[in-house]
Amino acid sequence: MRRKSITRRQVALLGGSTTWGDCAVAAYYFVNRRTLVNGPVIDAYERAFADLVGVQHACSFSAARVGLYMTLRALEIGHGDDVLLQVPTHVVVANAIGYAGARPVYVDCRPMDCNIDFDQAEKRVGPRTKALILQHTFGVPGDLEVALDFCRRHRLVLLEDCVHALGATYAGKPVGSFGRAAFFSTEETKTISTTMGGMVVTNDDDLAARLRHLQKGCGSPSASSVRRLLLKLSIYHALSTPSIHWYARALFEGMGSRNPLPGPTTPEERRGQRPRGYEQRLSNAQAALGLRQLKRIVSNISHRRAVASDYDVRLSAFGIDPLQPVKDADPAFVRYPVWVQDREKAARAIARHTVVGRWFTSVLEESDSPSVAGYDAGSCPVAEAAATHLINLPTHPRVSIEDIDAITRALGRAVGDRGYWKDGCVRSSSPGSFRPEARE
């Protein structure tokens, strides 16, 4: 196969799951006031989401964090209760626990896959502990067999954090179908994008009824806020086109605080405070975009897995070991994580070819300080190391074989034989199977 020049090609982290067809749908709803906020597509989207995860019920909200908060309320987990969750994670997860009145109790991660360390969880569980949030970090399933046993022994509710993991499976079964409930995100950086959005899924009829009741009590988003989200989706899709992103990103970032598009995390949330208008529903227009992308989810996930497989093989040749998922886990790879000794050196090396992902720069990503949500410095040393050493690479459908080649060569030359995953990771021994996805 003849390789194309990628001299001016830079792959973004955003915009990779959307298409020009999605932008056309966004434009349709932008001018259609009647079905912009409320409409029948919400129900269809929720049914399709439940079918994909293999559960009976799905309930949409304006964001996954709102879905988690509502789930805790529906389960009557609040004042006087503790909830175990791993770090690194995002501050909005800890915030949702705090908003419900409960206390987040932080557990370190395992370096092999950045998922929860159950040895430490055994030491953190106590008489006030009511639930465990199992995060499937980067779309790599946590050890669900161990998690289910842990929750049975300690009589805890298992809630799956599938924010990164739409399409991932464990023992052939979709993640999100194992716990009492699970929450997903369709925010702009996730596997599919409605710019903002979340979904809670469950097989528990009573819990689903309580969630529906709480959903009805949520406010509707304003027409203007929905239009801004639709505009952001279309602008991000255009500006993240690899052939122009190098220039477009510099122009876009140069706007700084003058950027009129909404951000995913408010200043209040970064400080651990609850923002106004927190409890909101998903709009009909966003549901239409999510439903379109669910129809492409099989090819989307297949592409991400193929890209990750090629990263495994090519980076292993430079002495950079891939992470090691647990047995029976089939990841979805919302991004591909790499543990490097010198993050800034690695970022400079590949900046020409891709925007470098920096999940996570803190044990509580995007917080002003982890202390705003009650994290004690030094309590989770592996997670703190991950916040210093992790970079992540794009896996979305706009990533081509030429991109993979350029990224891995540049990264390998910069950090080869010095990039590593700690504690028991093994190198991939089979060749990659990259097949570019047909685009709309």
The position carrying tokens 């995060």 is 135
Amino acid at 382: V
Question: What is the extent of the structural domain holding 327?
Answer: 297-415
Judge whether 130 lies within some domain: no
Judge whether 374 lies within some domain: yes
Cβ neighbours of 259 (radius 10 Å)? 12
* Concatenated DSSP letters of 285-312: HHHHHHHHHHTTHHHHHHHHHHHHHHHH
Joined tokens for residue 189: 């950086």
Query: pTM of the entire structure?
Result: 0.92
CATH number, domain containing residue 337: 3.90.1150.10
Q: What is the chain's pLDDT, residue by residue, as a tens digit (440 residues)?
A: 334 444 578 999 888 999 999 999 999 999 999 999 999 999 999 999 999 999 999 999 999 999 999 999 999 999 999 999 999 999 999 999 999 999 999 999 999 999 999 999 999 999 999 999 999 999 999 999 999 999 999 999 999 999 999 999 999 999 999 999 999 999 999 999 999 999 999 999 999 999 999 999 999 999 999 999 999 999 999 999 998 887 777 766 666 556 667 889 999 999 999 999 999 999 999 999 999 999 999 999 999 999 999 999 999 999 888 889 999 999 999 999 999 999 999 999 999 999 999 999 999 999 999 999 999 999 999 999 999 999 999 999 999 999 999 999 999 998 876 555 544 333 333 333 333 343 33
Judge whether 273 lies within some domain: no
Q: What is the dihedral of CA 356, 381, 87, 313, to 10 degrees?
A: 40
pLDDT of residue 427: 34
* Concatenated DSSP letters of 223-263: HHHHHHHHHHHHHHHHHT-TTTHHHHHHHHHHTGGG--SPP
Radius of gyration for the alpha carbons in the chain, expressed in angstroms and rounded: 21
Joined tokens for residue 239: 């500006």
Closest CA to 144 of 167, 124, 160: 160
* Concatenated DSSP letters of 340-390: BS-HHHHHHHHTTTBPPB---SSSEET-S-GGGGTPPTTS-HHHHHHHHHE
Judge whether 74 lies within some domain: no
The three-state secondary structure class of 10 is coil
pLDDT of residue 8: 76
Residues 6+ apart with CB under 8 A from 244: none
Judge whether 303 lies within some domain: yes
Number of domains comprising the chain: 1
How far apart are the C-alpha atoms of 350 and 140, rounded to whole Å? 24
DSSP state for residue 17 in the 8-state scheme: T
pLDDT of residue 259: 64
Strands 364-365, 336-339: pairing is: unpaired
How far apart are the C-alpha atoms of 60 and 201, rounded to whole Å? 9
Judge whether 343 lies within some domain: yes
Closest CA to 129 of 86, 80, 88, 72: 80
How far apart are the C-alpha atoms of 107 and 126, rounded to whole Å? 13
Amino acid at 166: L
Judge whether 86 lies within some domain: no
pLDDT of residue 261: 77
How far apart are the C-alpha atoms of 195 and 266, rounded to whole Å? 15
Joined tokens for residue 364: 């509580």
